[in-house]
């Protein structure tokens, strides 16, 4: 079945979201941005979950569009942005992160009542969290959108182990020498899409030291624990039980080191879903666009999310 193509609202460039926190455990607070949306929207709200080392602000180009049609919330994963960064063992396991996502959705009013429904959207690592939260929510989740992640095992798709992957996350020293150098590096990814929102999203990921250098907001223990969680993620186990329709937005492959790995991963997930009576994942390819599809293709990403949010049929609770 072809996905419907909804009209994507024009971005509301004047709106600024309000930040809130929800306490998930004593001393552990999860921050989220409430982008608002139509008060009487006919359909589910949308929760946006960022990827590793990012914050809720990375979703700004998409949230500015979605809020014209749905209630929209973007959260900071624990250890990221303005959410707390606990240090205890297991604090960044996938079920815990999924519980945080559900708590954010509940705290923001997206699933405050039993009859409320939500569409979960995750980018990269956030797609794994969204998938686990969708499994936990059951029929209260009526759509899952995986933005360039969540359907593959990283070791198979990248050919790397945890240590090799961690080394690849290191920023060159010249990029971190000043906030000016850091922002110039981020702008150079795609100058045409660089604007005040992109600068805000980039600034939210680093802290400027007294010496003028910048360091990531995401602390080393958080990054290490999250990468361990990423490599432990089993898409077959997580996605097979998800009743909701699943859509995957697939960016250009970052390398040809593992040719065909992503396609094989998707086929394996579809087979696992078929074995449990679930529908196959619908894919939307972005063959010439990089990982941050929200920056490069905000209209197309918004359209895909609204297609899922509009195609909920009679799925109620």
**pLDDT reported for residue 24:** 96
9 is written with which tokens? 């609202």
Each residue's pLDDT tens digit, 169-216: 999 999 999 999 999 999 999 999 999 999 999 999 999 999 999 999
Which string of b and e fits 223-239 if b means at least 16 CB within 10 Å?
bebbbebbeebebeebb
User: Has residue 4 been placed in a domain?
Assistant: no
Helix (H) and strand (E) counts in the chain? 12, 10
Is 250 within 8 Å of 148 (Cβ atoms)?
Answer: yes
What one-character DSSP code corresponds to residue 193?
G
User: Has residue 299 been placed in a domain?
Assistant: yes
Each residue's pLDDT tens digit, 4-32: 678 999 999 999 999 999 999 998 999 99
**pLDDT reported for residue 270:** 97
Is 59 within 8 Å of 126 (Cβ atoms)?
Answer: no
Say if residue 314's pLDDT is above 90.
no
Say if residue 316's pLDDT is above 50.
no
**pLDDT reported for residue 259:** 73
User: Has residue 11 been placed in a domain?
Assistant: no
Q: Which residue has the higher pLDDT, 310 or 134?
A: 134
Q: What would the mean pLDDT of 45-72 be, rounded to a whole number?
A: 98
In angstroms, rounded to a whole number, what is the distance separating the alpha carbons of residues 122 and 92? 16
User: Has residue 317 been placed in a domain?
Assistant: no
**pLDDT reported for residue 315:** 43
User: Has residue 139 been placed in a domain?
Assistant: yes
User: Has residue 95 been placed in a domain?
Assistant: yes
Question: Predicted confidence band at 43 (pLDDT cuts at 50, 70, 90)?
Answer: confident
Is 110 within 8 Å of 134 (Cβ atoms)?
Answer: no
Each residue's pLDDT tens digit, 104-159: 999 999 998 888 999 999 999 999 999 999 999 999 999 999 999 999 999 988 88
User: Has residue 54 been placed in a domain?
Assistant: yes
**pLDDT reported for residue 256:** 56
Q: Which residue has the higher pLDDT, 40 or 45?
A: 45
In angstroms, rounded to a whole number, what is the distance separating the alpha carbons of residues 53 and 235? 21
User: Has residue 63 been placed in a domain?
Assistant: yes
pTM here is 0.96
**pLDDT reported for residue 41:** 60
Mean pLDDT of the chain: 93
Q: How many domains does the chain have?
A: 1
**pLDDT reported for residue 157:** 87
In angstroms, rounded to a whole number, what is the distance separating the alpha carbons of residues 261 and 217? 32
In angstroms, rounded to a whole number, what is the distance separating the alpha carbons of residues 85 and 226? 12
Nearest one of 61, 60, 24, 83 to 218, comparing CA atoms: 83
Q: What would the mean pLDDT of 218-230 be, rounded to a whole number?
A: 98
Q: What would the mean pLDDT of 80-103 be, rounded to a whole number?
A: 97
In angstroms, rounded to a whole number, what is the distance separating the alpha carbons of residues 228 and 226? 5
In angstroms, rounded to a whole number, what is the distance separating the alpha carbons of residues 51 and 91? 17
Each residue's pLDDT tens digit, 102-112: 999 999 999 98
Domain at 57, CATH number: 3.40.50.1820
Residue 89 structural domain: 18-158+235-310
List, in order, residues 6 or more apart from 40 with CB less than 8 Å away. Answer: none
């Amino acid at each position: 079945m072809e996905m419907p193509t909804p009209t994507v609202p024009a971005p509301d460039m004047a709106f600024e979201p309000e930040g809130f926190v929800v306490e998930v455990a004593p001393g552990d607070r999860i921050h989220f941005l409430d982008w608002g949306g139509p008060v009487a929207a006919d359909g589910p709200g949308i929760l946006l979950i960022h990827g590793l080392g990012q914050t809720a602000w990375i979703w700004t180009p998409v949230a500015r569009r979605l809020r014209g049609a749905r209630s929209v919330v973007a959260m900071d994963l624990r250890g990221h942005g303005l959410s707390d960064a606990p240090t205890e063992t297991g604090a960044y396991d996938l079920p815990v992160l999924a519980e945080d996502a559900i708590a954010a959705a509940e705290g923001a009013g997206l699933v405050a009542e039993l009859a409320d429904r939500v569409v979960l959207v995750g980018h990269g690592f956030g797609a794994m969290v969204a998938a686990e939260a969708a499994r936990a929510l059951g029929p209260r989740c009526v759509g899952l959108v995986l933005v360039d992640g969540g359907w593959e095992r990283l070791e198979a798709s990248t050919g790397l182990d945890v240590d090799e992957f961690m080394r690849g996350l290191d920023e060159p020293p010249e990029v971190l020498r000043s906030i000016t150098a850091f922002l110039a590096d981020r702008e150079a990814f795609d100058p045409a899409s660089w604007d005040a929102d992109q600068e805000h999203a980039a600034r939210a990921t680093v802290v400027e030291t007294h010496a003028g250098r910048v360091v990531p907001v995401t602390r080393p223990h958080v990054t290490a624990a999250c990468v361990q969680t990423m490599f432990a993620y089993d898409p077959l186990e997580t996605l097979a039980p998800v009743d909701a329709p699943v859509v995957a937005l697939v960016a250009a492959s970052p390398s040809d080191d593992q040719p065909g790995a992503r396609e094989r991963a998707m086929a394996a997930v579809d087979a696992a879903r078929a074995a449990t009576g679930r529908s196959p994942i619908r894919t939307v390819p972005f063959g010439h666009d990089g990982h941050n599809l929200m920056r490069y293709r905000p209209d197309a990403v918004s359209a895909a999310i609204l297609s899922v949010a509009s195609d909920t049929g009679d799925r109620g609770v």
